[in-house]
Amino acid sequence: MKSQKFRPGRRAFLRTIGGLGIGLPFLEGLPERSAFAQDASAPAPTFGMFICTANGVVQAFRQEPEKFWPTQLGPLTTEGMQAFANDRATGLLADYASKLLIVRGVNYPFGNRGCGHALGLTQCLTAAQPVGDAQSAAATGISADTLIASELHPAGVEPLALYAGLKGGYIDEKLSFRAPNQVRAAEGNPWNVYQRLMGLVQPETGASTGEAERLALRRRSVNDLVREELNSLMNLPSLSSEDRSRLDLHFTSVRDIENGMLAMATCSAERLDVPAIQAMNEGSAFRRSDNTIEDVAKLQIDLAAFAFSCNASRVATLQIGDGTDGTRYTINGARAERFHWISHRQTSDGNDGQPIANAVEVHVEIDRLRMLTFKHLLDRFSSYSMPNGTLLDAAYALWTSHVAIGPSHSFNNLPIVIAGGAGGFLRTGQYVDAGGVGNNRLLNTLITANGVRRDGGPVVDFGEPGLAGGLIDSLLA
């Protein structure tokens, strides 16, 4: 029996103005125009974002130090996390201690029998037996985002699948699976995501509606196309001061996203450079192999937050880096070796290179950069007002990696950081040990947190048939 679901109609799913896909935020004084217009008996929607990074983290391994996990299990406090912020990457999230769930003791259910990067990626959101290896690896089941979208989106509306970083052509996206052995292509260009969200291209074909060119030629924001209607909305007496603030933030966010993409395309501050935007669309700035990967990830996070705030999607994935992420970060002013080599601690994609003397220290600094990118998500999600608190209150965001530790490619004790309460479903402000469970139980918990139900109860059997099912009770409020 399928779950009882909140399945809004098209008009409620994405309210638009001016004929464009700019959904309106929650408006308490104008609920019929809000993106969250729904039957009063339906539960408030929750949102889920899954982020998977590459190459593991620096945690205690052989002679290597612990540089990731908090210092002790139990409650997380801002003061307590600040105390280890200079030593352990998760400490950089101290400002949001009460909104975090840090979870150790979660493993991929199927062992590493070849290329750990590909086999980990295929299990990350599926908990399914992988087949093939390296570039041919695939999951034999669907991913969690696919199930969530099939239950909570209108028919035909897929999850928002995003990507940051260079696709090297060896092991590219392998995170989101729409069907067994069928990976979902992830969009690595924020400009393309933006155009689709704003209705500047036809969703079915990707063909331009003509509005993008008009905006580009006049150096205008998509907001300018709906300025008259926006002003009329702002002047409605039924809107509270809080509603007006929500609208202002909503459309300021549109402009911020646009400006961020112009900076990524190195556009002139004097006017919008159409060739530069097209060059970005064809793969210049967003495909660079340097710290830009984090800038692209932040833009993709901004776009996901915007989509959630409009109720244009209930779930999104973001893969940061391909399977053997070769990003060459600049750390402390010096350009490091490719990240995959750093994670191996030697100048090789295999085991036949020369040792890299400062590899552990560089990997630590990359972990810290990645935590700061995740903190950007917390900042952004916290800035959106929703029917019951902020977007961070109404959502969850999972941050993990496709392997636990770089040198060993271990699938045990995966780095798991969850932010957000999913409408009160998750127990936040805690660092817990799940006890060595398979990640299918983590995914059961998060799918249920997103609002999917089976026969009125939680989802307990996602992933490979035969795995020990259920939820992770220590994550529940």
CB atoms within 10 A of CB 282: 9
- Please, which residues bridge with residue 320 across strands? 164
Residues 115, 121, 125, 131: is their CA dihedral positive or negative? Answer: negative
- Please, which residues bridge with residue 139 across strands? 130
The torsion defined by the Cα of 243, 244, 249 and 255, in degrees rounded to 10, comes to 130
**What domains sit in the chain, N to C, each tagged with a CATH number?**
20-26+42-189+286-475 (3.40.720), 199-282 (no CATH)
pLDDT band at 222 (very low <50, low <70, confident <90, very high): low
pLDDT at residue 63 is higher than 50: yes
Q: Tell me, what's the pLDDT at 271?
A: 27
The model's pLDDT over 122-159, given as tens digits with 9 standing for 90+, comes to 999 999 999 999 999 999 999 999 999 999 988 888 99
The model's pLDDT over 235-291, given as tens digits with 9 standing for 90+, comes to 888 888 888 887 777 667 666 655 554 444 332 223 223 333 344 455 567 888 899
Regarding pTM above 0.85, the answer is no
Q: Tell me, what's the pLDDT at 9?
A: 32
CA atoms within 13 A on the CB side of 166: 19
Using the structure block, give the residue that is written with the tokens 């079915």: 204
Q: Tell me, what's the pLDDT at 268?
A: 25
- Please, which residues bridge with residue 454 across strands? 457
The single-letter DSSP state of residue 269 is S
pLDDT band at 311 (very low <50, low <70, confident <90, very high): confident
16: its two tokens: 């638009």
> Chain-wide mean pLDDT for the chain?
83
